[in-house]
Amino acid sequence: MNAEREERRRTMLERKKARAQEEQRNIAAGNPGDVDFIGMVREWRATHADQALSLDACQTSPPKICICVRKRPISDKERNKNDHDSVTCLNPEVWIHSAKLRVDGITKYLDHTSFQFDYTFNEDNTTEDVYNYTTLPLIDFVCSGHGGRATVFAYGQTGSGKTYTMSGIQNMMCEDLYFLLNSADSACTTDNTNVMVSFFELYGGYVQDLLNNRNRVKVLEDGKGEVVITGLTEVESDGPNTFLEILRQGNSARTTHMTEANDASSRSHAICQIMLRDAKTNKLKGKLSLVDLAGSERGSDTKSHNSQRRAESSDINTSLLSLKECIRALDRDASKHVPYRGSKLTLILKDCFTSDRAMTTMIATVSPGASAADHSLNTLRYADRIKEKRSTAPTLS
Ligand code: ADP
Ligand code: MG
């Protein structure tokens, strides 16, 4: 573990150095992209860099709802298309820069929009950073044995890093989960608790079991108001290695399908649930759900000529809007009505919103490119509206 961590830190520093060198080269060679824009963003960053707080400085006791942003590094593909980096994360703020022209038609200036969240992670932060500050506290919460429901969502445009972040989190989580279960003073231990895993995808209104050949299963609300997914596989995991193998199986069921139905992963929600069950009574002692949401841009994509795509888009739109309302209800008052019947996604996650012991993390992922700025803004607005007390800094020029 430690060696891996060292290695990750080393590559991180190397990447940072390589980027700085590239910037220098760009200055020397004349920039391939919009020289003025890149220069203005660089200048802005130089004068604002000291505004960023350390991640530790933002750490309070874990909030019931934690909303954070992760910006991924610019990719080679984007660089080759002369796209440029237009997002700056100054924890806990995020800034989106856009180039504007003054009325004289000649002078360019930068327009900025900013938001504040619990944390913002920039391109130099590792998935481990994201995990440590947003997910680790939830694992502790779930293992406390009081029936806690913790949910982590990755929300964002296709290609912004949802799956990258979620699969990293899945891998890190399993070590820590068993570490806690193996410690004698934990409420849930490997002696008294079974770890059960299910992994499924919500695609075009259907639930497909990723641990059983994408078998279609039904979602029902029983007489007692409990939501059950009939026939969904729950696989018992007796240690980190079994756990990793289950995750590998589920993730590969996702990607294999992707090649068949071109980019299906952007049109489906993938939900991995870890249930801690009492070894004697089977009672649920805690549940952690990791949700890799459908691409947020799908929700607005209603102009497609294909009617199936249009229906899918509208379905995704409904589920993402309904999700926002359910988390907002959680933020306001647990006793208030939670509109979980608004979509299949929120119905499946009912107990995550209605339990009086619920914690939620939303990781909003954004692409850095100027060409994605509109999508990134939509993502940040969505995340911003989940928590009511957020404020937006004034627009500067
Ligand atoms: P999404 O699931 O939101 O569609 P992906 O997770 O598939 O997006 O990410 C798109 C691409 O960007 C992938 O090639 C992935 O490896 C890369 N990527 C995403 N986030 C990061 C990151 N933080 N650091 C490095 N590469 C990343
Ligand atoms: Mg994905």
The atom number, within ligand 1, closest to the CA of 71 reads: 23
Instruction: pLDDT band for 108, please (50, 70, 90 cuts).
Output: confident
The atom number, within ligand 1, closest to the CA of 167 reads: 6
| Ligand 1 close to Cβ of residue 125 (< 6 A) | no
* DSSP one-letter string for 70-123: EEPPPPHHHHHTT--B-EEEETTEEEEEEEEE-TTSS-EEEEEEEEE-SEEE-T
CB of 68 within 8 A of CB of 387?
no
| Ligand 1 close to Cβ of residue 164 (< 6 A) | yes
Mean pLDDT, the chain, integer: 87
Of all protein residues, the one whose alpha carbon is nearest to atom 18 of ligand 1 is 161
Backbone CA torsion sign across 132, 361, 270, 140: positive
- Ligand closest to CA 72: 1
CB of 133 within 8 A of CB of 55?
yes
Q: How far apart are CA 112 and CA 157, in angstroms?
A: 20
Residue 22 in this model has a pLDDT that exceeds 70: no
Peptide bond into 368 cis (omega under 30): no
Backbone CA torsion sign across 43, 47, 50, 52: negative
Per-residue pLDDT reduced to its tens digit, 141-186: 999 888 999 999 999 999 999 999 999 999 999 999 999 998 878 8
For ligand 1, pick from 79, 124, 164, 171 the residue to mutate: most ligand atoms within 8 Å of CB. Answer: 164
CB of 122 within 8 A of CB of 161?
no
Residue 20 in this model has a pLDDT that exceeds 60: yes
| Ligand 1 close to Cβ of residue 179 (< 6 A) | no
Q: How far apart are CA 57 and CA 369, in angstroms?
A: 28
Residue 320 Cα to ligand 1 midpoint, Å, equals 21
Mean pLDDT value across residues 44-63: 86
Residue 225 Cα to ligand 1 midpoint, Å, equals 38
DSSP-derived pairing of the beta strands 215-221 and 65-71: unpaired
For residue 145, what is the DSSP state?
S
| Ligand 1 close to Cβ of residue 162 (< 6 A) | yes
Residue 57 in this model has a pLDDT that exceeds 90: no
Of all protein residues, the one whose alpha carbon is nearest to atom 16 of ligand 1 is 164
Whole-complex ipTM = 0.99
Residue 158 Cα to ligand 1 midpoint, Å, equals 9
Residue 29 Cα to ligand 2 midpoint, Å, equals 36
Residue 163 Cα to ligand 1 midpoint, Å, equals 7
Q: What is the pLDDT of residue 166?
A: 97
Which residues sit opposite 359 in a β-bridge?
A: 150
Ion ligand 2 — residues with CB under 5 Å? 162-163, 265
| Ligand 1 close to Cβ of residue 158 (< 6 A) | yes
Residue 266 Cα to ligand 2 midpoint, Å, equals 6
State the pTM of this model: 0.88
Q: Which two tokens stand for residue 253?
A: 């069921």
Instruction: pLDDT band for 308, please (50, 70, 90 cuts).
Output: confident
DSSP-derived pairing of the beta strands 87-90 and 119-121: unpaired
Q: How far apart are CA 205 and CA 211, in angstroms?
A: 18
Mean pLDDT value across residues 241-247: 96
CB of 238 within 8 A of CB of 232?
no
Residue 359 in this model has a pLDDT that exceeds 90: yes
> Of the candidates 202, 126, 200, 132, which has an alpha carbon nearest to the alpha carbon of residue 165?
126
Q: How far apart are CA 303 and CA 300, in angstroms?
A: 8
| Ligand 1 close to Cβ of residue 324 (< 6 A) | no
Alpha-carbon distances, residue 218 vs 146, 187, 207, 221, 355 (angstroms) = 28, 33, 7, 10, 22
Question: Which residues carry a binding-site annotation for ATP?
Answer: 156-163
